[in-house]
Structure 1
Amino acid sequence: MEQNQNIKKEEKKKIMDSEKNPCNICIWADNKICEDCSINKKLQCHLDLKYSAMFGGTFFIFFIPAIIGIFKLGVESLLFYLGLVSWIVYLVIFFLIWEPQMLCSHCPYYAEGGTKILHCYANGGFIRTASFKPHPMNKSEQIQFIFGVLLIGVIPYVFLIIGQQFLLLGISALGFVIWLIVLKTQICTVCINFSCPFNSVPKDIVDEFLKKNPIMRDAWEKSGYKIE
């Protein structure tokens, strides 16, 4: 019996250790390791396109009316160019530079080895512009993230208000609220980026995940987190 348990431990170690999994994070191990996992299917541990559809689909409910409103300002209008360029530049900076540093780099999805491309439900396909940080986000990063998300909506709305595109502004604002609600109720409840300020995974499940991933557990405990 004891010999079988030792063999099983060796098999798990071999599954966990690979070029694809330099930080020994269980989500990048072979799926065989999930078979006897106590929190299997309680977290979004592996890429599931239904979460990508929820994230992206609801984002476009907000995005499309806003972009239509900016175009209705007229291509001959300075407001059009200021609104369009400033928003596109901000979205590129936010999703490719700022967000990875303050949020994404703390997520186990960022721990994948052997690739520069991110494979996750939200920003999948983007180039990784930061290194994996096993410790949780600090307060400054959490505040920056909330501010950064709100700024996604504020920038186009400033130009829509000046251009008096109030109907499209209202539709877009409603879409922005729907996007946040879907995130909070459908995605954040199973997201493995546990230190995100929007995350709402129960603590007992967070604890179990950290117990299975020693590098993350050590970093979290050094940051003051208590596992029960």
Structure 2
Amino acid sequence: MSSPGIPLPLKTEHSAKDRLYWNFFNMIPFLIGSIAIARDSLKWVAVYIGIALFFFLVIEFRFACTHCLYYIRSKGCVKCMMLSGVPKIFKARPGPHSPFEKAVTVLGALPMFLFPIYWLVRDPLLLVAYIVSWTLFFLTARRYECVRCLNFECPMNRVPADVKKEFEKGDNLSGSFEISGKGILESCSGRCASLRVKHEFKDFLYWNFVTLVILFSAGLAIGISSTGWLLAYIFIIIFHFNILEQRFFCTHCPYYVEGGKRLRCMMNWGWPRHFKPIPYPPGKFDLVITTLGFIIMIFFPLPYLLKIPSLLGAYFVSIVLFLLTIWRSECPRCIYFCCPFNRVPVEVRKEYEGEN
């Protein structure tokens, strides 16, 4: 059975879901920057949009994308997760980037990232949201896309060297990995190879960073109005994750038994294991209690968030990103098959259970 280090099958094609997800993710920091600039001048918003379009459609397109296999293989219009449907106005250039092309790409990106800073520093909340949104974008891309991307010339590419060689030889690793789960079925060493049988500490760091974005938005809104209710909110969070969820949901999870007396899962790494594992699926009562806990935790800060629209927007957007990312990138690989959100195909579940 596979370990956390085994790579996912390479993605030879991007689906419509990929394009919608990544362009939505990419639009968030631009929207934040535009909101900050628009408070001063709509003309400068137009300039900001022009700078971004010039970078993506000219500089990046010419000096970076032309070396990408997704660009090279596309006919007529580009088919990739970010610029799908854009006409191929530049000649494809197979092979590595030159130092000049790398320098131009970096220099072209700097104005796009730095342009809104002048307006963002006037509003610390928007500045923090801008930095966090870009950080989340790059962390998520590096974690889930760069490990199976065919753009081997990209400096962020993380596909192992041996996998690259196998792909270039025409090995079966070139099978397309779709979020629907087909990629798991087409993996190079059996249908179960892409399942995540263990979590690592870096998984915990990533997912708790994403979760803290949600909780920080809510906590800040509550704290501005009342320190007492902020303490109550913190108590609700700790009680839900450490007691309620652990007892009624986590005890049924295969990851729960990892790590002895301390949990070793991507959400609760290092927390004490208060309850004994329960080796059967959660019942309706377990799911109802867990759901009620989440509902209370999500809706508790709303009265305070409604007073601060910027924090309300950050709260809901971060929840949407959390759910979309975990649904498309973790649920198709998770061995907690009894979870109502699990998306591992039935035949893969049966094969895994037969081998374990």
**Does the pair score TM above 0.5?**
yes
Are 1:102 and 2:102 an aligned pair? no
For residues 209 and 328 of structure 2, the distance between their equivalents in structure 1, rounded to whole angstroms, comes to 15
Corresponding residue SS for 1:72: helix
- Whether contact under 8 Å (1:51, 1:187) holds in the other structure is no
Match of 2:339 in 1: 196
**Whose Rg is larger?**
2
In structure 2, the CA distance between the partners of 1:45 and 1:183, relative to structure 1 (3 Å rule), is same
In structure 2, the CA distance between the partners of 1:178 and 1:64, relative to structure 1 (3 Å rule), is same
Which residue among 146, 167, 171 is the counterpart of 2:291?
A: 146
Q: Please report how far the alpha carbon of residue 212 of structure 1 lies from its aligned counterpart in structure 2 after TM superposition.
A: 2.6
Corresponding residue SS for 2:300: helix
For residues 160 and 125 of structure 1, the distance between their equivalents in structure 2, rounded to whole angstroms, comes to 31
In structure 2, the CA distance between the partners of 1:41 and 1:207, relative to structure 1 (3 Å rule), is same
Match of 1:86 in 2: 232
Which residue among 107, 117, 133 is the counterpart of 2:262?
A: 117
For residues 178 and 110 of structure 1, the distance between their equivalents in structure 2, rounded to whole angstroms, comes to 25
Corresponding residue SS for 1:146: helix
1:4-61 deviation per Cα after TM superposition (whole angstroms, max 9, x unaligned): xxxxxxxxxxxxxxxxxxxxxx899xxxxxxxx8444321102234533442232122
For residues 59 and 152 of structure 1, the distance between their equivalents in structure 2, rounded to whole angstroms, comes to 13
In structure 2, the CA distance between the partners of 1:48 and 1:107, relative to structure 1 (3 Å rule), is same
Match of 1:71 in 2: 223
- AA of the residue aligned to 2:339: C
Match of 2:275 in 1: 130
Match of 1:175 in 2: 318
- Whether contact under 8 Å (1:52, 1:122) holds in the other structure is yes
In structure 2, the CA distance between the partners of 1:27 and 1:103, relative to structure 1 (3 Å rule), is farther
For residues 297 and 331 of structure 2, the distance between their equivalents in structure 1, rounded to whole angstroms, comes to 19
In structure 2, the CA distance between the partners of 1:148 and 1:188, relative to structure 1 (3 Å rule), is farther
For residues 350 and 237 of structure 2, the distance between their equivalents in structure 1, rounded to whole angstroms, comes to 34
Q: Please report how far the alpha carbon of residue 211 of structure 1 lies from its aligned counterpart in structure 2 after TM superposition.
A: 1.6
Match of 1:17 in 2: none
Corresponding residue SS for 1:41: coil
- AA of the residue aligned to 1:204: E
Under a length normalisation based on structure 2, what TM-score does the superposition of the two structures give?
A: 0.44
- Whether contact under 8 Å (1:188, 1:201) holds in the other structure is yes
- AA of the residue aligned to 2:212: F
- AA of the residue aligned to 2:351: E
* Unpaired stretches in structure 1, ≥5 consecutive residues: 1-25, 29-36, 74-78, 214-228
Match of 1:11 in 2: none
* Unpaired stretches in structure 2, ≥5 consecutive residues: 4-188
Between the two structures, name the one with larger relative contact order (CA 8 Å, sep ≥ 6): 1
Corresponding residue SS for 1:151: helix
List structure 1 segments (4+ residues) > 6 angstroms apart after TM superposition: none
Alpha-carbon RMSD across the aligned residues, in angstroms, is 2.6
Q: Please report how far the alpha carbon of residue 63 of structure 1 lies from its aligned counterpart in structure 2 after TM superposition.
A: 1.7
- Whether contact under 8 Å (2:2, 2:195) holds in the other structure is no
In structure 2, the CA distance between the partners of 1:54 and 1:190, relative to structure 1 (3 Å rule), is farther
For residues 42 and 59 of structure 1, the distance between their equivalents in structure 2, rounded to whole angstroms, comes to 25
Query: Matched residues, percent identical?
Result: 27
For residues 264 and 206 of structure 2, the distance between their equivalents in structure 1, rounded to whole angstroms, comes to 16
For residues 223 and 258 of structure 2, the distance between their equivalents in structure 1, rounded to whole angstroms, comes to 40
Match of 2:203 in 1: 51
Q: Please report how far the alpha carbon of residue 102 of structure 1 lies from its aligned counterpart in structure 2 after TM superposition.
A: 1.3
For residues 122 and 92 of structure 1, the distance between their equivalents in structure 2, rounded to whole angstroms, comes to 13
